[in-house]
Amino acid sequence: MRGIVFVVLLVSFGLGEEVRFVNAERADMPAPSQSEGASAFPCPNGSSTSGPCGTGAPLGITYAMTTLNWTQTTSSALTRGSSATVVLTPCPRGVDYTSGAGYQVYITDGTSSEAVAVTGGSTASGNCSITFTPFFSHTSYTIGSASSGIQETINAACGTISTPYWNSQCNVTIPANGPYLGSGSLWTLNNYNVYGTIFFHSNQSVLNGPGVSVNCLGRGPCLQVGDQIK
């Protein structure tokens, strides 16, 4: 098991495959619609309540908490190497099937658990669907966040627009672990298991984690700053 220890602010300026800054003299940069921007659903605000993303204290901060660490149980059979679509009811906040910047979910079945990359999806009334290709076959399993809700918080706070440079101007803070319990990778307050890769795909933004250790349990990078390399 690997780990990441956050000891400084991770600041990204102008990240993305194509980065442009807003200029009043430019006419080729249509602003995103409200439905395309950061999630309007409630986000953790650092207390026992939730509110719109960025309403932490001070305003502009969104806290990565277990609120967005979602799981759902399903019995839709998955065949290794074959594209599959799974319906999520209700649709968890922070699920990303639109940006193409990198988003993974974790499939748990007790024998061949794995993180898979979401490649597409759609929204319906009361639910949404995600598409991916598993490496293993699965019958009865749970599917959920591959990052203890950290990626979902980033998505909700920063946006999941397919035009990369519009996902910006956000500040995501991961709360500290708290004192170490003395054995294993367990802390008293918060434990963060990451089974895939966290993609911090936002420019002019901050991912902040003072006093945080993340348990990296996957084979790939635990954190990637910037859009997914295509």
pLDDT tens across 63-77, in order?
Answer: 998 789 999 998 889
CA 25 to each of CA 21, 39, 76, 79: distance values in angstroms, whole numbers, following the listed order: 11, 28, 51, 52
| Average pLDDT value for the chain | 81
Contact 204, 14 (CB under 8 A): yes
Q: What's the CA gap between 177 and 8, in Å, rounded?
A: 15
Q: What's the CA gap between 160 and 167, in Å, rounded?
A: 6
pLDDT confidence of 59, banded at 50, 70, 90?
confident
Degrees to nearest 5, angle at CA 64 with 61 and 65 = 125
Q: What's the CA gap between 165 and 205, in Å, rounded?
A: 11
Contacts of residue 8, defined as CB under 8 A and 6 or more positions apart, other chains included, come to none
Q: What's the CA gap between 82 and 33, in Å, rounded?
A: 34
As beta bridge partners, residue 173 has 63, 208
**pTM, full prediction:** 0.79
Determine the average pLDDT of the residues in 16-21: 30
Tokens 């669907």 belong to 129
pLDDT confidence of 3, banded at 50, 70, 90?
low
**pLDDT at residue 118 above 70?**
yes
pLDDT at 49: 54
Tokens 């802390």 belong to 187
Per-domain residue ranges of the chain? 2-24+34-225
Between 11 and 148, the more confident residue is 148
Q: What's the CA gap between 66 and 150, in Å, rounded?
A: 8
pLDDT in tens, 166-213: 999 999 999 999 999 888 768 999 999 999 999 999 989 999 999 999
pLDDT at 48: 46
Q: What is the share, in percent, of the chain residues with pLDDT greater than 90? A: 60
Contact 113, 41 (CB under 8 A): no
pLDDT at 183: 80
Region of 220 (left: φ > 0; alpha: ψ -120 to 50; beta: rest) is: beta
Q: Residue 111 class from Cβ within 10 Å (0-12 exposed, 13-18 middle, 19+ buried)?
A: exposed
